Amino acid sequence: MARTRLAALAAIFGLVAAAGVAGPQAFAQPATAADTERGNGQLGALSGEGGDPALGATVYQQRCASCHDTPTGRTPSKAVIGNNTRAHIADTLIEGVMAPMAAGLTTHERSSVAAYLSTRKTGQAGEVGEDAPLCKAKAPPMSLDGPQWNGWGRTDAQSRFQPNPGFSAAEVPRLKLKWAFAYPGARNGQATVVGGRVFVNAFSGSVYALNARTGCAYWRFDAPAGTRASIVVGRLPAAKGGKARYAVYFTDFTKSAYALDAETGALIWRTRVDDQQEVQMTGSPALHDGRLYVTISSAEEAIAADDKYECCKFRGAVVAVDAVTGKLLWKTYVTPGPAKPFKTNTKGVQMYGPAGGAIWSAPTVDPKRGLIYVATGDSYTDVDFPNADAIMALDARTGAVRWSRAFAQGDNYIVGCYGKFGAGANCPRPAGPDVDFGASPILHTLASGKQVILAGQKSSQVYALDPDAQGKVLWEQRLSTGGPLGGVEFGLAADPTTVYAPVSDVFSQTGHPKPQLTAIRIADGKILWTAVSPITPCAWKNPFCSPALSQAVSASPGVVFAGAMNGHFRAFDAATGKIVWDVDTAAPVTTVAGREAKGGVLDGAGPTIAGGMVYVSSGYQGRSGTPGNVLLAYSVDGK
């Protein structure tokens, strides 16, 4: 039961389609009714919305007061708990350390306790000193010059390559932990480095500006809901006679995009970019030429495992927002039109389609052609549509679809349906193979000046596409059997000549999973080397103690950094694939706040490299089920 429930929740809160469902052995049973409440369900709770404080008070008395009214040892007092956002308390009860204490409570009861307990104000700057010591020295002036990793892929070409890391490849074996920061919440965004600061965000809704070298804090902003897509920083036009201002952009699970003042954390604008149910905001926004591009993904693929759920209506989308004003400029859906009723499921519940096409990853900007590229996920019903599992090129100014190329046909899939005829009443027939694109496309320029689009799919296929021929395939390589939680999940990295593809394969339908890192020559698709991800023990005992390379990888000259689900963060020699550095990120560390913390599973947001430092997030509590979620900052000799 515990394992099934964990698995179901991991599926709901993980990168659902890019994670999808695992093999039948782990995810055979559909999620319980409590896991899949409709409407403002699990994700609603994580958005900090809904919840009835009066009901929450009753639940608290019955289920929590015995420990939290008379706190001893590690138990925090009611007042201390209250200092967290609603989203964080709800998250603790749904997938965090208090999930066992909340067993049997409905989602509504959990969000009600959170609404009753939380006293923290959201939508404004908060008291950061409790999470990290305040910086004693004044912050350096904000600037877009200097070392940086700005947004998901360092630049909006999304290469995940740092040409100027601030250390040599030969120094990488000497990387040591310089500082650590404990995130509140079960998952987090990726570190963004700009202007001597590292901007990070957590599933508690908190966004932080920390000193990039020391981890001391400048400010914290509390969004009402979980935030896990990475932050991007840009310059705002200066007021007349005033100095330049810089904005920090991010999204949260209230389906909103935000701009904050990068120096103070003050809110500049907030815009709700979508109004569908159970929306997740997993893809990081991209910023270019005054427009913020935001992608929309969904948990409906997991929620539809409930036979009573009217599957499915979600439509993946891209939204462009004016970066200065927050005004919505355009929105383009992945599916051809709103879902319509098409049949009843095997339990007589109405079904709708087409649905799906979640966009899990960040958009990629092509300024030369005036396009943005997005990578889409699967379809949720038997009603096929052309843009599922596709790379789409949209006009950056209008959102019009210029071309779209799909890489699977009939990939109709929801969680729990693996195998041709899954038991769930909403399962498409046949179902699968669940081969979303979870990773951002990379726009790569070869030495010749010729550009290619690199893409990696959960099928484990890696492609080079021609941006001058509507995405025509120049080469492709298949690295394993792929499938749910398989193949390329969160992200490829590309240096000037080579693309590095991590293979997850937590489970493999053939029984031959191949967690590995593969280097492919971009010019012609030749495989240069394959490094098998070593099997190592971990403290957590679920299927996510795996050598799977699901987390996005990153590169700097001569080195590729890759994190495995078993907690090992490694550097591979870019020429040979040999492991040159290996740390266990699950080991206990002392945080900048002076507390003991530890990481765990490495998944989702990947390493970032800038200014002589390498940052990685470890924990992803929703996967391992064990507490601990930290940002680890490494430098040569820890100096």
| Residue 68 vs 288, nearer CB to ligand HEC | 68
Report the residue from 9, 11, 102, 610 that binds ligand HEC according to the rule CB under 6 A.
102
The distance of closest approach from Cβ of residue 62 to ligand HEC in the complex, given in angstroms and rounded to an integer, is: 8
Q: How far is the CB of 52 from ligand HEC (least distance, A)?
A: 14
| Residue 89 in contact with ligand HEC, rule: CB under 6 A | yes
Per CB under 6 A, 94 contacts ligand HEC: no
- Candidates 88-96, 142-150, 212-220, 365-373 — which segment interacts with ligand HEC by CB under 6 A? 88-96
**Least distance in angstroms from the C-beta of 19 to ligand HEC:** 23
For the CB of residue 410, give the shortest distance to ligand HEC in the complex, in Å: 43
Whose CA is closest to 486, among 13, 2, 15? 15
Among 48, 50, 96, 502, binds ligand HEC (CB under 6 A): 96
Report which residue type is found at 535. Answer: I
Residues 6+ positions from 594 with CB-CB distance below 8 Å: none
The residue at minimum Cβ distance from ligand HEC is 64
Q: What gap in Å lies between CA 152 and CA 249, rounded to an integer?
A: 12
CB of 75 to ligand HEC, least distance (A): 4
**Least distance (Å) from ligand HEC to the CB of residue 104?**
10
Q: What span, in angstroms and rounded, lies between the C-alpha atoms of 126 and 378?
A: 39
Cα torsion through 540, 543, 549, 553, rounded to 10: -50
Q: Is 86 in the site for ligand HEC (CB under 6 A)?
A: no
Residues 48-67, interacting with ligand HEC (CB under 6 A): 63-64, 66-67
Asked if residues 388 and 411 have their Cβ atoms less than 8 Å apart, the reply is yes
Q: Does 46 bind ligand HEC (CB under 6 A)?
A: no
Q: Between 79 and 575, whose beta carbon lies closer to ligand HEC?
A: 79
Do 505 and 482 contact (CB within 8 A), yes or no?
yes
Residue 638's CB: how many other CB atoms inside 10 A? 12
Please, which of residues 605-634 interact with ligand HEC by CB under 6 A?
Answer: 627
Q: Can you tell me the distance from the alpha carbon of 401 to that of 53, in angstroms, rounded to the nearest whole number?
A: 46
Q: What distance in Å separates the CA atoms of residue 331 and residue 321, rounded to the nearest whole number?
A: 9
Distance between CA atoms of residues 48 and 111, nearest Å: 7
CB 439 within 8 A of CB 364: no
Compute the distance between CA of residue 160 and CA of residue 151 in angstroms, rounded to an integer: 10
| Min dist. Cβ of residue 89 to ligand HEC (A) | 5
Confirm if 262 and 142 have CB atoms less than 8 A apart. yes
User: In the range 402-441, which residues lie near ligand HEC by CB under 6 A?
Assistant: none
Q: Indicate whether 21 belongs to the interface with ligand HEC (CB under 6 A).
A: no
The single residue among 79, 101, 103, 469 that binds ligand HEC, judged by CB under 6 A, is 101
Q: Give the Cα-Cα-Cα angle 137, 143, 147 (nearest 5 degrees).
A: 90
Of 359, 358, 378, nearest to 440 by C-alpha is: 359
Q: Mask: binding to ligand HEC, 103-132, rule CB under 6 A, as x and -?
A: ----------x-------------------
Place of tokens 């039961």: 1
Per CB under 6 A, the list member of 10, 81, 545, 580 interacting with ligand HEC is 81
Tell the smallest beta-carbon distance from residue 283 to ligand HEC (Å). 26
* Interacting residue ranges for ligand HEC, rule: CB under 6 A: 63-64, 66-68, 74-76, 81, 89, 92-93, 96-98, 101-102, 113, 627
